[in-house]
Structure 1
Amino acid sequence: MLTYILRRLGATILVLLVASFIVYTLTSIGTDPLADLKQSNASNRQELIDNRIEKLSLDVPPVLRYFTWLGGASRCLILQCDLGIAFSRSDQPVINAVSTAASSTIQLVTAATIIAIIAGLTIGILTALRQYSGFDYTVTFMTFIVYSLPIFWIAVLLKEFGAIRFNAFLSDPQISVWAMLLAGLVAGIIFMSVLGGSWRTRLITFASAFVAVAGLMAFLGLTDWFAKPTVGIIGVILTGVAAAVGVTAISTGLANRRALYASLIVVAIWAALYQPLQYLFFYVPQGWMLLIMYVVAIIVGVVVGLLMGGDGKKEVARTAAIVSFITFFVIVIDRVLLVYSDYLDRIPQSGVIATIGSQTPNLNGDMWFQLLDGFAHLVLPTIALSLVSIAAYTRYARSSLLEVMNQDYVRTARAKGLTERTVIVRHAMRNALIPIATIVAFDIGALIGGAVITETIFAWKGMGALFVTGLERGDVNLVMGFFVVTGVLAVIFNLIADLLYSALDPRIRVS
């Protein structure tokens, strides 16, 4: 494998060299870095022009300038990058501008990518298992609509309904009876369609979902939850138990009682630690503390799984670790919501859900305030990026799984008497993920390269905005800084996709 990776990296370096030369040359020829100074009315205009020409070596032909830039870029191999200066950013080093923009974009696309992958694959699997049902037709129709909508239109709709009107609702949260009944009706139809079965089973599912969701909406309205949101220990326990049942059903099947019991034990551990954690969160509100606790959550799940696993220690430990992570994540959400009221008092009167920027300027507060503020600014652009990706992943997952389900080895697995969950999860889905792995890998690299339209609409200063600024101002160094990041990421994720092939299909060898 090492030989294969080194060979691929060697070939990729040649591709990056040729591509960077073309991009640098075309950008240098097609833009004028002196345009803003030529239109200036300053008395020392010529002096400023001469200074920029000298600083950027504009009197040197673009081809020769490229090799000067390449010399500085090659120092990245020894972790001493020199990508020049960005005159459009007050002569800021390009490496600093790219680092700031990349961190902002990664913050934006991480949640969007995770949500899109999980939701898209889940919906795609469900539609494949309910092929030609009403649920399948409805999801197919909706995914085509979402996929065809331009991203700027989705962003505008989200600003109107997800921010302006929702903020108006939060200012005076009153849930009407009709809203409760409508929410229950929609939930009932969705769950009935997803679970399927006989008409008797579907009616029971519909009634259960209708009562549960309508009752939940009534409870939230009566307790004024939207004005003072919280999870509490009861919410943590309920969420943890639901996660234990759901993750166990997918990972090992509910017939594996050891996995279910291990997951429930993990939930009980976090419920017992709920109150002591509140003191820890209050006295040590630091990011490194949260990272350590997330690692501890995974370790707790693994240890409990190994102790309870019996012959299937690996599967039980994996299940318990996932449930432990989810339960602790809910505890963190509960702690963030405790500062909700104080947060409202410190932000402008525009509402909780922000429509522009990545943070509230001059917001003073500890880590919990920053987390809540980050979520308030992330929610709309994250949904905008996720929706289109979810629609795409849904279609890919559905078609890929349907193709695999008709293979001989799937019929053989069923003939051996394996449960449907085992056939789907362990046999069919693993092979169905092979073509999807390529799409996901390239999408992640493309998203980190910057979502130009989304970042522009939501005034998010990320890689997309950096690239647009470089092109508009003729700042070649800034454009090349963008190219270095996106080009390297494209190479890395392309290599990861190839390595995933061998992990998903043992018949594929990396050689």
Structure 2
Amino acid sequence: MIKFILRRLGISFLVLLGGSLLMFVLTINSGDPLADLRESNAPNRDNLIAQRIANMRLDDPWYERYGAWLAGVGKCVVGSCDLGLNRAGIPVIDLLGSAAAATLRLVILSTLLAIVIGIGVGILTAIRQYSGFDYIVTFFAFMMYSLPIFWAAVLLKEYGAIRFNDWIAEPQMTLWQIALIAAGLAFVIAGSLGGDARRRLLTGGGTFLFVFAALFYFDAVDWFRQPALGVVVVALASLGAALLLVMLSSGLGNKNVLYAALTTVAAGVVGYVVFGNQLDEPTWGTLFALFGLSIVVAVVSGALWGGYSRRMAIWVSVGVATMMSLVVVVDKALASWASYLDSVRNGRPISTIGAETPNYDGTFWQEFLDKGTQLLLPTILLTLVSVASYSRYTRSSMLEVLEQDYVRTARSKGLSERVVITKHAFRNALIPITTIVAFDFANLIGGALLTETVFGWKGMGELFRTGLTQVDPAPVMAFFLVTGTAAVVMNMLADIAYAFLDPRIRR
């Protein structure tokens, strides 16, 4: 495996080197970097031209400029990258830091959401092949995949930002709106869970009544402006997540895994109470430290309770701790929602432009909400586009695996459908999906240009567009360096994942 990885790294380095040379040559020959100054009537035009020529080294041959860029990239090995200056004389490494932070924050979140949602939906549609649920999901998947990104972004800005901000000022829901939302969720859940007509009716009816009652209560107590979860809801949500993970992994009959997961939930509730004051106004260091502590507790719980299923118990406990940590973060963020609405400009929380409110000064959770609300719409957009492809590929892969002989053998041995799906089919179905994830992550970084442009984000797309428009190779090459490296790293991780998913690939 090590020899294989080193060979792939060597080939990838040659590909990046050739691609960077081609990108550099194409950029510097795409126009005149002094065109705007040549047409200027400014009295200091000659000085401005001389300054730009010095910043961009236009008097040097192209190969010397490219060599200087390569030498600066080589310094990244010792932690002192030098990506040159843009035409205004600003170090590109400084521009790249802020641009990469904004884009990676957007791309990583949307990729994770797309993987979880897309794979989950793909598995359900494969299991419910040719059902009404399958047809509806297929229709929406193809619709979202073919939607122009800029048009979908405009719709999100209109309904997800402008009209939502109007509604949140005085949030009220009529009975028919509540009933419509409850009926829609009931239809989706009943269709995804499947079963005979009686089971679907009971599932849909129960979902409708629960959602209708919850929304009616939220509307009555003005929960949408003053939301809260509290320790009871955190505990119940974590308990539900624990039971779900145990059911999907080993089944509720495995008491060792079940007790490990429940112990992790109990320890998490105790930690929520004990560290409540630190969580009210934390720092990022505090949050990561507490998350690390929860992982340690989960590993210990799985090791103590696991027995012969120790490895499974540890992984399930870690999953429970992770999901519980997310629930706690949501709880604390919601507790600050009311104060955030009062502090944000004009009481309109979701902006249509920018990655954060300029010069906003609030508490930790208020600033967390500020960045989160600005991240919401572009994340939804990129997630919907990726979910469409993930769900289709997962469905196709699952259907192919479910027709294999070993799956039929597992069913003929009397194994439950849960065991057949989770232990025999799902793992092998993930192999082609891994390739799609690797390519999609790199493509999202490069393809977020339209999304960032519509939502006014100063990210990698803006850096690339500005450099290309101004015939400035330094920002363009910085963009290529990040996206190219991301493509190499993600494909390398995909190769390693292949070996983990299918041990035959290691040989």
TM-score calculated relative to the size of structure 1: 0.96
Deviation by residue 1:444-501 (Cα, 9 ceiling, x = unmatched) = 1222345000001111111011000000111111111111111111111111111211
The one of 380, 384, 396 equivalent to 1:383 is: 380
Deviation by residue 1:249-283 (Cα, 9 ceiling, x = unmatched) = 2122222233233322322222233333221224x
Q: Name the SS of the counterpart of 1:273 in structure 2.
A: helix
Q: CA deviation at 1:359?
A: 0.8
Are the counterparts in 2 of residues 74 and 81 from structure 1 also a CA contact under 8 Å? yes
One-letter amino acid of the structure 2 residue matched with residue 305 of structure 1: G
Aligned mates of 2:252, 2:118 — CA distance in 1: 24
One-letter amino acid of the structure 2 residue matched with residue 306 of structure 1: A
- Residue equivalent to 1:293: 290
Identity over aligned pairs, percent: 47
Aligned mates of 1:69, 1:183 — CA distance in 2: 56
Q: CA deviation at 1:350?
A: 5.8
* Equivalences for residues 469-508 of structure 1 within 5 A: 469-508=466-505
Q: Name the SS of the counterpart of 1:255 in structure 2.
A: coil
Q: CA deviation at 1:31?
A: 2.3
Q: CA deviation at 1:103?
A: 1.0
Q: CA deviation at 1:330?
A: 1.3
Are the counterparts in 2 of residues 452 and 465 from structure 1 also a CA contact under 8 Å? yes
User: How many residues are paired up?
Assistant: 507
Q: CA deviation at 1:328?
A: 2.3
- Residue equivalent to 2:144: 146
Q: Name the SS of the counterpart of 2:345 in structure 1.
A: coil
The one of 303, 307, 311 equivalent to 1:310 is: 307
- Residue equivalent to 1:63: 63
Aligned mates of 2:51, 2:192 — CA distance in 1: 67
Aligned mates of 1:314, 1:410 — CA distance in 2: 24
Are the counterparts in 2 of residues 119 and 390 from structure 1 also a CA contact under 8 Å? yes
Are the counterparts in 2 of residues 502 and 509 from structure 1 also a CA contact under 8 Å? yes
Are the counterparts in 2 of residues 163 and 355 from structure 1 also a CA contact under 8 Å? yes
Q: Name the SS of the counterpart of 1:92 in structure 2.
A: coil
Deviation by residue 1:154-188 (Cα, 9 ceiling, x = unmatched) = 11111111111122221111121112211221122
- Residue equivalent to 1:134: 132
Q: CA deviation at 1:38?
A: 1.5
- Pick closer, same or farther for the CA change 1:157–1:313 going to 2, 3 Å: same
- Of stretches 154-163 and 29-38 in structure 1, the one that deviates more from structure 2 is 29-38
- Residue equivalent to 1:13: 13
Are the counterparts in 2 of residues 450 and 462 from structure 1 also a CA contact under 8 Å? no
Aligned mates of 1:93, 1:277 — CA distance in 2: 43
Are the counterparts in 2 of residues 438 and 497 from structure 1 also a CA contact under 8 Å? yes
Cα RMSD between the aligned structures?
1.5
- Pick closer, same or farther for the CA change 1:265–1:223 going to 2, 3 Å: farther
Aligned mates of 1:145, 1:79 — CA distance in 2: 45
TM-score calculated relative to the size of structure 2: 0.97
Aligned mates of 1:357, 1:58 — CA distance in 2: 34
- Of stretches 36-45 and 118-127 in structure 1, the one that deviates more from structure 2 is 36-45
One-letter amino acid of the structure 2 residue matched with residue 115 of structure 1: L
* Equivalences for residues 378-457 of structure 1 within 5 A: 378-449=375-446, 451-457=448-454
Which segments of 5 or more consecutive residues in structure 1 lack a partner in the other structure? none
The one of 238, 244, 247 equivalent to 2:245 is: 247
Are the counterparts in 2 of residues 346 and 363 from structure 1 also a CA contact under 8 Å? no
- Residue equivalent to 1:257: 255
Aligned mates of 1:122, 1:277 — CA distance in 2: 34
Aligned mates of 1:241, 1:223 — CA distance in 2: 26
Aligned mates of 1:286, 1:332 — CA distance in 2: 12
One-letter amino acid of the structure 1 residue matched with residue 329 of structure 2: V
- Residue equivalent to 2:44: 44
Q: Name the SS of the counterpart of 2:96 in structure 1.
A: helix
